[in-house]
Amino acid sequence: MLTLMPNEMSCLPPEDEMYAALISMDSEYEGIFFAGVTSTGIFCRPSCGAKKPKKDNVEFYSSVRAALMAGYRPCKICRPLEPLGEVPGWLKDLLKEVQSDPSARFRERELIDRGIDPARLRRWFKKHHNMTFQGYLRSLRINQAFGRIRRGSDVTHAAFESGYDSLSGFGEGFKKATAFAPVQSPDRVVITVTRILSPMGPMFAAAVDEGICLLEFADRRMLETQFDRLQKHFRSQLLPGDHPHFDQLEKELGEYFRGERREFDIPLSIPGTDFQKQTWEALRTIPYGRTVSYGEQAKLMGNPGAVRAVARANGDNRIAIIIPCHRVIGSDGNLTGYGGGLWRKRKLLDLEQGGSPLA
DSSP string covering 146-163, please? HHHHHTT--HHHHHHHTT
Q: pTM higher than 0.95, yes or no?
A: no
pLDDT tens digits, 265-280: 999 999 999 999 999 9
Same domain flag for 196 and 184: no
Alpha carbon distance 138, 164 (integer Å) = 10
Say if residue 28's pLDDT is above 80.
Answer: no
Over pLDDT 90: what percentage of the chain? 43
Same domain flag for 161 and 223: no
Average pLDDT over every residue of 161-174: 86
The confidence score (pLDDT) of residue 9 equals 41
- Domain assignment present for 46: yes
Average pLDDT over every residue of 314-318: 95
Which of the pair, 79 or 10, is modelled with greater confidence? 79
Same domain flag for 100 and 166: yes
Q: For residue 3, what pLDDT band results from cuts at 50, 70 and 90?
A: very low
The confidence score (pLDDT) of residue 49 equals 87
Say if residue 206's pLDDT is above 90.
Answer: yes
- Domain assignment present for 317: yes
- Domain assignment present for 359: no
Give the HSE-up count for residue 125: Cα atoms under 13 Å, Cβ half-sphere. Answer: 19
Most confident of 94-98, 137-141, 167-171, 325-329: 325-329
- Domain assignment present for 357: no
The confidence score (pLDDT) of residue 11 equals 57
- Domain assignment present for 204: yes
Say if residue 293's pLDDT is above 80.
Answer: yes
Selection from 288, 87, 85 nearest residue 200 by Cα: 85
pLDDT tens digits, 221-240: 888 999 999 999 998 889 99
CB-CB neighbours of 246 under 10 Å: 19
Alpha carbon distance 130, 134 (integer Å) = 12
- Domain assignment present for 80: no
Say if residue 245's pLDDT is above 70.
Answer: yes
Alpha carbon distance 155, 173 (integer Å) = 13
3-state secondary structure of 293: strand
Say if residue 6's pLDDT is above 60.
Answer: no
Q: For residue 2, what pLDDT band results from cuts at 50, 70 and 90?
A: very low
Q: For residue 353, what pLDDT band results from cuts at 50, 70 and 90?
A: very high
Same domain flag for 95 and 181: yes
Same domain flag for 234 and 282: no
Same domain flag for 93 and 183: yes
- Domain assignment present for 265: no
Looking at the structure of the chain, the number of domains it has is 4
Distances (CA, A) of 107 to 27, 113, 183, 233: 34, 10, 30, 37
Angle between helices 133-150 and 118-129 (to 10 degrees): 60
Average pLDDT over every residue of 188-193: 90
Same domain flag for 97 and 54: no
Same domain flag for 153 and 197: no
Same domain flag for 95 and 164: yes
Last residue of a domain, one of 215, 230, 257: 257
Last residue of a domain, one of 46, 74, 102: 74
Beta bridge partners of 42: 37, 73
pLDDT tens digits, 322-350: 999 999 999 888 888 888 888 889 889 99
The confidence score (pLDDT) of residue 7 equals 40
Tell me the one-letter amino acid at 113.
D
- DSSP of 43-78, one letter per residue? EE-TT--SPPPPGGGEEEESSHHHHHHTTPEEPTTT
Q: Answer for the pair 269, 208: CB distance below 8 angstroms, yes or no.
A: yes
Catalytic residue numbers? 325
Last residue of a domain, one of 159, 188, 217: 188
The confidence score (pLDDT) of residue 269 equals 96
Selection from 264, 124, 123, 151 nearest residue 205 by Cα: 264
Alpha carbon distance 9, 144 (integer Å) = 52
Same domain flag for 241 and 317: no
- Domain assignment present for 266: no
Q: What is the mean pLDDT of the chain?
A: 88
Same domain flag for 164 and 243: no
Alpha carbon distance 57, 47 (integer Å) = 17
Same domain flag for 51 and 125: no
Average pLDDT over every residue of 97-125: 86
Alpha carbon distance 103, 124 (integer Å) = 21
Average pLDDT over every residue of 7-22: 75
Q: What CATH number did the domain enclosing 179 receive?
A: 1.10.10.60
Q: What CATH number did the domain enclosing 299 receive?
A: 1.10.10.10
Full domain range(s) for residue 347:
274-352
Q: What CATH number did the domain enclosing 11 receive?
A: 3.40.10.10
